[in-house]
Amino acid sequence: MSGALRRHAGLWQSDPRYRLAWVAWPQIACLLIAGWLLSSPSNVREAAVPWAKPIIPALTPAQFDALRNHAETDPQALDRLRQMANSGNVGAQFSLGTLYDPDFKPPARPVPVDINTAIGWYEKAAGHGHSIAQQNLGAKYYEGRWVPTDYPRANFWARKAAEQGNPVGERMLGWANEKGLGGPANRTHALEWYKRAADHGDSFSEAQVADAYRSGDGFALNQTEALNWYRKAAAQKNAYAQMRIGEAYLNGTGVERNLDQAFSYFQQGANEGNAAAQFYLGAMYDQGLATAVDPVQAFQWFKKGAENGNADAENALGLAYGQGRGVARDTATARFWLEKAKQNGNTAAAHNLQMLR
């Protein structure tokens, strides 16, 4: 044994501090080296592992809307939207449904129309509580245009949406109860749902509530309250409500008679496509109420109202052709429109047919 080894053996046996230093210092050195390695930036990229999944950052509502819109024309955006949908993002699932939905008409459609795929994505989103997906499913099953009509299923999804305060879901349940879709008709329940939808700003339902006050069918007769609800609907360009307000001003019902206001509301409703408003506007031109007599304008509005199925406009149009008022006289066309008006319930049309020569 060399002298160095003998000296080491002797100190190891006789000096405990020597033994501690011999054992501890190598460990401390290792820890120092490891600490330096851990704290230093690594130039080595971690290898990908087969179970790693890409992280999809959360998007703000504005960013998500932009992604949905870009998906119509950008394949990368569409891929990302699909990836998000497959990862369980409810908004992405709904948005994919709209891209496949034949009722939606995007400027560009990146995927073929496929109602089954649309329904599948809607159901995924609806199952996670997306109220507009629930609303769309309800509408599809009520309409029966792209899928077979299924009122129980329609009522199920409409109720799911309505229970979240979705006004379209509430309106659909009102309509279903009024018409007896999937169960017995119930006017009381219909008005309850219409009132909830009206309170949430649905213009169709506001007009339904107004009708109930106007007629006293379901609510106590109250023309003032009826006008209040019609005004709310008319402010949203509900053409039917605009026509009803015009009627109120024309007849002085619940409000002081005012022909200028009547003309204004009939004009609004007529321009929005309401057939009754088109008839009334034609009549005001024909009779010179709140405007100069103008048979040509009267004829044009009677024609629009008749083509939209209003029996009073059909009768008036038949008279215009029969008398040559605002248009060249044409008894054959006059007879056609008067017959149509009679079939649609206009009581004056039969007499006018007898007078036609």
In a domain, 121, yes or no: no
Query: 161: burial class by Cβ within 10 Å (0-12, 13-18, 19+)?
Result: buried
In a domain, 319, yes or no: yes
- The tokens of 149 are what? 């009509």
In a domain, 314, yes or no: yes
In a domain, 323, yes or no: yes
Domain count across the chain: 1
The 10 Å Cβ neighbour count of residue 167 is 22
In a domain, 80, yes or no: no
Looking at the chain, the number of H-run helices and the number of E-run strands are 19, 0
Q: What is the pTM of this model?
A: 0.79
Locate all alpha helices (DSSP H) within 114-200, ordered by sequence: 115-127, 131-143, 151-162, 167-179, 187-199
* 147-188 residue pLDDT tens: 999 999 999 999 999 999 999 999 999 999 999 999 999 999
- Comparison of pLDDT for 92 and 38, the residue scoring more: 92
In a domain, 316, yes or no: yes
In a domain, 345, yes or no: yes
* 53-78 residue pLDDT tens: 334 456 777 888 888 888 888 899 99
Instruction: Kindly report the CATH number assigned to the domain that includes residue 333.
Output: 1.25.40.10
In a domain, 96, yes or no: no
- Write out the E strands in 220-319: none
What is the domain range of residue 306?
274-357
